[in-house]
Amino acid sequence: MNPEAKKIALRMISSGLYILTSRHGEDMSAATVSWVNQASFTPPLIMMGIRTDSHTHAVLEAGKVCAIHFLGRDQQHIAEKFFKPVKHEGNKIGGMEFETKITGAPILKIAPAYVECKVVDSLKRGDHSVFVVEVLEAEVRNATEALGMRDTPWHYGG
Ligand SMILES: Cc1cc2nc3c(=O)[nH]c(=O)nc-3n(C[C@H](O)[C@H](O)[C@H](O)COP(=O)(O)O)c2cc1C
Protein backbone atom coordinates (compact mmCIF):
# COMPACT_ATOMS: atom_id res chain seq x y z
CA MET A 1 0.00 0.00 0.00
CA ASN A 2 1.12 3.54 -0.74
CA PRO A 3 0.85 5.25 2.67
CA GLU A 4 0.67 8.77 1.23
CA ALA A 5 -2.21 7.80 -1.09
CA LYS A 6 -3.98 6.06 1.81
CA LYS A 7 -3.65 9.22 3.90
CA ILE A 8 -4.93 11.53 1.16
CA ALA A 9 -7.81 9.19 0.24
CA LEU A 10 -8.96 8.67 3.83
CA ARG A 11 -8.86 12.41 4.45
CA MET A 12 -11.39 12.74 1.64
CA ILE A 13 -13.99 11.18 3.97
CA SER A 14 -16.04 14.22 4.86
CA SER A 15 -16.62 14.67 8.56
CA GLY A 16 -18.05 17.11 11.04
CA LEU A 17 -16.74 18.27 14.39
CA TYR A 18 -18.64 17.47 17.55
CA ILE A 19 -18.15 17.74 21.28
CA LEU A 20 -18.69 14.36 22.90
CA THR A 21 -19.31 14.32 26.65
CA SER A 22 -19.72 11.33 28.89
CA ARG A 23 -20.14 10.48 32.54
CA HIS A 24 -19.52 7.66 34.99
CA GLY A 25 -20.62 8.72 38.47
CA GLU A 26 -18.76 11.94 39.23
CA ASP A 27 -16.17 11.27 36.50
CA MET A 28 -16.97 13.39 33.44
CA SER A 29 -15.26 13.73 30.07
CA ALA A 30 -15.49 16.06 27.10
CA ALA A 31 -13.60 15.82 23.81
CA THR A 32 -13.81 17.04 20.24
CA VAL A 33 -14.48 14.14 17.90
CA SER A 34 -14.93 13.85 14.15
CA TRP A 35 -15.34 10.13 13.48
CA VAL A 36 -19.10 10.24 13.98
CA ASN A 37 -21.88 9.05 11.69
CA GLN A 38 -25.48 7.91 11.75
CA ALA A 39 -25.74 4.09 11.59
CA SER A 40 -29.52 3.31 11.71
CA PHE A 41 -32.89 5.11 11.40
CA THR A 42 -34.86 2.70 13.63
CA PRO A 43 -33.64 2.58 16.28
CA PRO A 44 -31.71 5.82 15.77
CA LEU A 45 -28.06 4.75 16.08
CA ILE A 46 -24.81 6.66 15.78
CA MET A 47 -21.33 5.14 15.50
CA MET A 48 -18.19 6.87 16.74
CA GLY A 49 -14.48 6.03 16.61
CA ILE A 50 -12.87 6.78 19.98
CA ARG A 51 -9.16 6.60 20.89
CA THR A 52 -8.56 3.68 23.23
CA ASP A 53 -6.06 5.67 25.34
CA SER A 54 -8.38 8.64 25.96
CA HIS A 55 -10.23 9.53 29.14
CA THR A 56 -13.39 9.69 27.03
CA HIS A 57 -12.98 6.01 26.09
CA ALA A 58 -12.69 4.93 29.74
CA VAL A 59 -15.70 7.01 30.82
CA LEU A 60 -17.87 5.85 27.90
CA GLU A 61 -16.97 2.21 28.55
CA ALA A 62 -17.83 2.46 32.26
CA GLY A 63 -20.73 4.93 32.23
CA LYS A 64 -22.37 3.89 28.94
CA VAL A 65 -23.99 7.29 28.35
CA CYS A 66 -23.04 10.33 26.31
CA ALA A 67 -24.15 13.58 24.75
CA ILE A 68 -23.08 14.56 21.23
CA HIS A 69 -23.10 18.32 20.66
CA PHE A 70 -23.43 19.86 17.23
CA LEU A 71 -21.63 23.16 16.67
CA GLY A 72 -22.34 26.07 14.37
CA ARG A 73 -19.90 27.08 11.63
CA ASP A 74 -18.81 30.07 13.75
CA GLN A 75 -17.89 27.86 16.74
CA GLN A 76 -14.45 26.57 15.75
CA HIS A 77 -13.07 28.11 18.94
CA ILE A 78 -15.31 25.78 21.01
CA ALA A 79 -14.04 22.70 19.14
CA GLU A 80 -10.49 23.88 19.80
CA LYS A 81 -11.05 23.94 23.59
CA PHE A 82 -11.64 20.17 23.64
CA PHE A 83 -8.66 18.94 21.59
CA LYS A 84 -6.87 18.16 24.87
CA PRO A 85 -8.05 16.61 28.15
CA VAL A 86 -10.12 19.11 30.16
CA LYS A 87 -11.03 19.56 33.82
CA HIS A 88 -14.47 19.28 35.38
CA GLU A 89 -15.16 21.84 38.14
CA GLY A 90 -18.66 22.34 39.53
CA ASN A 91 -21.03 23.08 36.67
CA LYS A 92 -18.21 23.68 34.18
CA ILE A 93 -16.16 21.34 32.03
CA GLY A 94 -13.26 22.74 30.03
CA GLY A 95 -14.42 26.13 31.33
CA MET A 96 -17.81 25.75 29.61
CA GLU A 97 -21.08 25.69 31.56
CA PHE A 98 -23.16 22.53 31.43
CA GLU A 99 -26.42 21.16 32.77
CA THR A 100 -27.63 17.56 33.02
CA LYS A 101 -30.82 15.98 31.72
CA ILE A 102 -31.92 12.35 31.26
CA THR A 103 -28.60 10.49 31.05
CA GLY A 104 -26.58 12.66 33.44
CA ALA A 105 -23.95 13.34 30.74
CA PRO A 106 -22.86 17.01 30.71
CA ILE A 107 -24.86 19.09 28.22
CA LEU A 108 -22.96 22.19 27.12
CA LYS A 109 -25.14 25.28 27.28
CA ILE A 110 -23.34 26.86 24.33
CA ALA A 111 -24.20 24.10 21.83
CA PRO A 112 -26.98 24.95 19.33
CA ALA A 113 -28.13 21.30 19.31
CA TYR A 114 -27.33 17.98 20.97
CA VAL A 115 -28.48 14.40 21.34
CA GLU A 116 -28.32 12.28 24.48
CA CYS A 117 -27.47 8.63 23.98
CA LYS A 118 -26.80 5.29 25.62
CA VAL A 119 -24.06 2.91 24.50
CA VAL A 120 -25.54 -0.24 22.94
CA ASP A 121 -22.40 -1.87 21.52
CA SER A 122 -18.67 -1.44 21.10
CA LEU A 123 -15.89 -3.04 19.11
CA LYS A 124 -12.24 -2.74 20.11
CA ARG A 125 -9.92 -2.84 17.07
CA GLY A 126 -6.65 -0.99 16.54
CA ASP A 127 -6.04 2.34 18.25
CA HIS A 128 -9.72 3.39 18.31
CA SER A 129 -12.88 1.56 19.40
CA VAL A 130 -16.16 1.86 17.57
CA PHE A 131 -18.98 2.73 19.95
CA VAL A 132 -22.56 2.32 18.76
CA VAL A 133 -24.94 4.56 20.69
CA GLU A 134 -28.71 4.92 20.58
CA VAL A 135 -30.27 8.39 20.58
CA LEU A 136 -32.68 8.76 23.52
CA GLU A 137 -33.36 12.49 23.37
CA ALA A 138 -32.61 15.44 21.10
CA GLU A 139 -32.86 19.20 21.47
CA VAL A 140 -32.34 21.98 18.94
CA ARG A 141 -31.90 25.39 20.56
CA ASN A 142 -31.24 27.18 17.32
CA ALA A 143 -31.09 25.56 13.91
CA THR A 144 -27.83 26.56 12.25
CA GLU A 145 -25.38 25.32 9.66
CA ALA A 146 -23.16 22.67 11.24
CA LEU A 147 -19.39 23.03 11.59
CA GLY A 148 -17.54 20.67 9.26
CA MET A 149 -13.88 19.70 9.11
CA ARG A 150 -13.66 21.41 5.72
CA ASP A 151 -14.48 24.76 7.38
CA THR A 152 -11.23 24.43 9.35
CA PRO A 153 -7.51 23.97 8.68
CA TRP A 154 -7.54 20.74 10.76
CA HIS A 155 -7.38 17.05 9.86
CA TYR A 156 -8.07 13.91 11.84
CA GLY A 157 -7.64 10.82 9.75
CA GLY A 158 -5.40 9.21 7.20
C1 LIG B 1 -9.68 17.81 14.50
C2 LIG B 1 -9.68 16.73 15.55
C3 LIG B 1 -10.58 15.68 15.46
C4 LIG B 1 -10.58 14.65 16.43
N5 LIG B 1 -11.44 13.59 16.30
C6 LIG B 1 -11.38 12.58 17.19
C7 LIG B 1 -12.21 11.42 17.05
O8 LIG B 1 -13.01 11.30 16.14
N9 LIG B 1 -12.09 10.44 17.99
C10 LIG B 1 -11.23 10.54 19.05
O11 LIG B 1 -11.17 9.61 19.86
N12 LIG B 1 -10.43 11.61 19.21
C13 LIG B 1 -10.49 12.62 18.30
N14 LIG B 1 -9.66 13.70 18.45
C15 LIG B 1 -8.75 13.74 19.61
C16 LIG B 1 -9.48 14.19 20.87
O17 LIG B 1 -10.02 15.50 20.71
C18 LIG B 1 -8.53 14.15 22.07
O19 LIG B 1 -7.90 12.91 22.12
C20 LIG B 1 -9.33 14.34 23.35
O21 LIG B 1 -9.62 15.71 23.54
C22 LIG B 1 -8.62 13.77 24.54
O23 LIG B 1 -9.33 14.08 25.69
P24 LIG B 1 -9.72 12.95 26.76
O25 LIG B 1 -8.50 12.12 27.03
O26 LIG B 1 -10.20 13.75 27.93
O27 LIG B 1 -10.82 12.11 26.17
C28 LIG B 1 -9.66 14.72 17.52
C29 LIG B 1 -8.76 15.79 17.60
C30 LIG B 1 -8.76 16.77 16.64
C31 LIG B 1 -7.74 17.88 16.74
Q: What is the model's pLDDT at position 35?
A: 98
Q: Is 150 in the pocket of ligand 1 (CB under 6 A)?
A: no
Tell me the Ramachandran region of residue 100: left when phi exceeds 0, alpha when psi lies from -120 to 50, beta otherwise: beta
Q: Is residue 156 part of a domain?
A: no
pLDDT in the model for residue 145? 95
DSSP assignment of 74-121: T-HHHHHHTSS---EETTEETTEEEEE-SS--EEETT-SEEEEEEEEE
Q: Which residues contact 108 (CB under 8 A, 6 or more apart)?
A: 19, 21, 30, 67, 69, 78, 93, 96, 97, 98, 114
Position 100 confidence tier, pLDDT thresholds 50, 70, 90: very high
On whether residue 46 sits in a domain, the answer given is no
- Answer whether residue 3 is part of any domain: no
Please provide the average confidence, as pLDDT, over all residues in the chain.
97
Please give the pLDDT value at position 116.
Answer: 98
CA dist 9 → 2, 13, 18, 51 (Å): 11, 7, 22, 21
**pTM score:** 0.97
Which pLDDT belongs to residue 87? 95
Pocket test for ligand 1, best of 34, 75, 152 (most atoms within 8 A of CB): 34
Give SS3 for 48: strand
Percent of the chain with pLDDT over 90: 100
Quick check: is 90 in a domain? yes
> The domain spanning residue 102 has which CATH number?
2.30.110.10
As a whole number, mean pLDDT of residues 13-29 equals 97
CB–CB of 57/50 below 8 Å? yes
In a domain, residue 111? The reply is: yes
Q: pLDDT value at position 140?
A: 98
What single-letter DSSP state applies at residue 61? H
- Cα 116 to averaged position of ligand 1 atoms, centre (Å): 19
Find all residues with CB under 8 Å of 20, minimum gap 6, and list them: 29, 30, 31, 32, 33, 36, 48, 50, 56, 66, 67, 68, 69
Domain span including residue 112? 16-38+52-116+137-151
The count of domains in the chain is 1
Rounded Cα distance, 25 and 102, in Å: 14
Asked whether residue 80 is domain-assigned, the answer is: yes
pLDDT of residue 78: 97
Q: What's the chain's Rg over C-alpha atoms?
A: 15
Tell me if 142 is assigned to some domain.
Answer: yes
11 lines ligand 1 (CB under 6 A): no
